[in-house]
Structure 1
């Protein structure tokens, strides 16, 4: 099996408070400007920042060679950046006169950079980029105030990682688990003797978010320029009740998240039938416990009905072009190539990613983990699209709310408290 490690989802969990940048320009890109990007022989040097684990060295080499063969007038220079400290680095670049031409950013970070005018607006060119089939969980957070600044690059999301041997012993065929109630029934059957039906930490708020979206709710909603927290809506309360039922079918801690302790390590140590994680978690389990190699598989998080997979938080990246970038048209050409069908298929297979559009889901059919992700990605969502959301995650009242409910406090009272914190934070000018 070929899976990326959890590190490939730096964008999925990254939520540092960043100085922001916002709408500008129409992105029509009338050609490159003169400047330091002009190489000898008339070729234009295109500076690109991609993030660590976004591409392998082999894929990078293949793409650069293929792109330059098709566009010999452009010399692509890709620099790999680290996730740690990238917010400050991007913010400084957008405010300078020497920004790179293309930058990879986490999909939920686009609004923060777009807020003060630092990004090129591609709204008028979405059609040229195949935007009619983009994954919603990448396209929506790539937009800000109705304008498209982020171009979907790749996606990843959570799936169910399960022990095939424990499922077989319990007489359960994972392919038949298509709905939430079927999932609960199977997990109850697995939760017998010394086996935990599922290991689900009490503060896995991205998982809860999917259940809330399934019920028709949201973490927060905006109306008339004001935000209101959504945890106390009937839909969100139903989602929390389902989470409580599922979490009770194992011994996951009620007061910590997936990282404390790392749930893949917990699965490696014990008789745990399932966890909810990105597919790279299976590699961690097998590495920690080689006896489980070949005994792990995946299925999409089930939905309320068999017709629709469970909603998931879509992590991943978008590509943006700084408004001050010297080579706007060449940058657009780069975006069109790397996010187009041919290179998206190659990237998905090379990196076990979900391609950026629904029409390419079949490209990862040979990779079980990525194929399960692709099914879920069709019902992908993102956190509320506002620059202030990073401040909500810094406080994270959602985690405290979940622990309160799982330890016996009144769900409505605790949901109302958490919703007020969310609203106050989102409506704050700071």
Structure 2
């Protein structure tokens, strides 16, 4: 769910190339699965998305049901993934199936890089899918991916540190700040919260709580929403939280990776992260010979009756338009997203994901990350659904730049106006 794209102009140019190549050779495309040729599939999944034992089991079962087929899984890193995907989709031998962030999918669909799956809805189980996940996989009435899973961030905390400071999980923003003050007073050498300056998914939730938006439709065009009182209020609260952290103001949560590069070293009482990050931190802490005793609570809201809004991230699975084994790829896609596999996927992730088929939801354990996440599912939101949104997340991401400027003292209105110009330019590119 950390999405990075190459420069907007580069995306536009490269994606036009994809569209041109993909649209001109459809009549000559060969599906080698029909002629007894190569029946191999290359699948790209993102680091942390698919537990090895689960994906190995899925592919073993699929290969048994499709004699002669070999599925090759290649694990990708989130850093600069959009650059890599953009390049891969323009080549003659792209991966057959790709895991894409739910904020990326329409950006690739609008340019012709993804296969149209509309005619395959029944095979894919479309009727059983969560309607809340569908918008990120559809564009102009056509289906370009199968939503796979969704998740949201929660606050992860060190139980021992909270107990020492006399802090209990807060339910409001005010209680949250009071708790951070107690943590700071209890242990001056530790960070009450680790919060990098550019965790823009966290900021998005604060913005939604204030009634604002990252971008809004203005007639036939889109415009940025950061030069607003709502964005200023959200950023001011973020700034207050960040004052309790020594994390860099010009980096995101992956630079360095908070879960395995920062938290395991100690000195962090709490942080905001995803389920796979919590799991990674626990593993790293225990590998270092220490005890990991973490607790979880929803990001607090402005009032106790409702938790804070969160970015409802997730991943979709798509088939490359230029795949040489497109029909077999679609069969793999249908297989991996059926109820049985989704249930086993949820079990492998200890209930830490929300599957596309609600009936496949695994009941989370009490006190688990998943339990805290489920509590915020109803206040989950997603970034603007438009083909141009992926361009907004291009590095340098204007939202990140806005955050760093404000944290370093620049006026939120001025910084917001500068960011909105870039957002408008990029989001209106199709």
TM over 0.5: yes
Query: Which ranges in structure 2 are unaligned for 5 or more consecutive residues?
Result: 23-28
Partner of 2:284: 287
Partner of 1:382: 382
TM-score, length-scaled by structure 1? 0.78
Partner of 1:60: 55
SS of the residue corresponding to residue 157 of structure 2 reads strand
Q: Note if contact 1:158-1:312 (Cα within 8 Å) is conserved in structure 2.
A: yes
Q: Note if contact 2:207-2:231 (Cα within 8 Å) is conserved in structure 1.
A: yes
SS of the residue corresponding to residue 402 of structure 1 reads helix
Distance verdict in 2 for CA 1:132–1:214, change over 3 Å: farther
Residue 200 of structure 1: how far off its partner (Å):
1.5
**1:183-262, aligned counterparts within 5 Å?**
183-193=176-186, 194=188, 195-262=190-257
1:404 and 2:405 correspond: yes
Of residues 344-353 and 72-81 in structure 1, the stretch that sits farther from structure 2 once superposed is: 72-81
Residue 220 of structure 1: how far off its partner (Å):
1.5
Distance verdict in 2 for CA 1:392–1:124, change over 3 Å: same
Residue 309 of structure 1: how far off its partner (Å):
3.6
SS of the residue corresponding to residue 318 of structure 1 reads strand
Partner of 2:25: none
Residue 372 of structure 1: how far off its partner (Å):
3.3
Query: Which ranges in structure 1 are unaligned for 5 or more consecutive residues?
Result: 1-10, 26-32
Q: Note if contact 2:195-2:245 (Cα within 8 Å) is conserved in structure 1.
A: yes
Q: CA RMSD in A?
A: 3.7
Partner of 1:321: 319
Quote the Cα distance in structure 1 between the aligned partners of 2:3 and 2:85: 18
Quote the Cα distance in structure 1 between the aligned partners of 2:30 and 2:145: 25
TM-score, length-scaled by structure 2? 0.78
Of residues 161-170 and 207-216 in structure 1, the stretch that sits farther from structure 2 once superposed is: 207-216
Partner of 2:44: 50
Quote the Cα distance in structure 1 between the aligned partners of 2:178 and 2:309: 20
Quote the Cα distance in structure 2 between the aligned partners of 1:244 and 1:197: 14
Distance verdict in 2 for CA 1:135–1:178, change over 3 Å: farther
Post-superposition Cα deviations, 1:214-253, rounded to whole Å, max 9, x if no partner, equal 3332211233332211112333222112212222233333
Distance verdict in 2 for CA 1:244–1:88, change over 3 Å: closer
Q: Note if contact 1:46-1:331 (Cα within 8 Å) is conserved in structure 2.
A: no
Distance verdict in 2 for CA 1:333–1:260, change over 3 Å: closer
SS of the residue corresponding to residue 207 of structure 2 reads helix
Quote the Cα distance in structure 2 between the aligned partners of 1:301 and 1:124: 40
SS of the residue corresponding to residue 297 of structure 1 reads strand
Q: Note if contact 1:301-1:309 (Cα within 8 Å) is conserved in structure 2.
A: yes
Post-superposition Cα deviations, 1:258-302, rounded to whole Å, max 9, x if no partner, equal 344544444444543211122344433663584652322222323
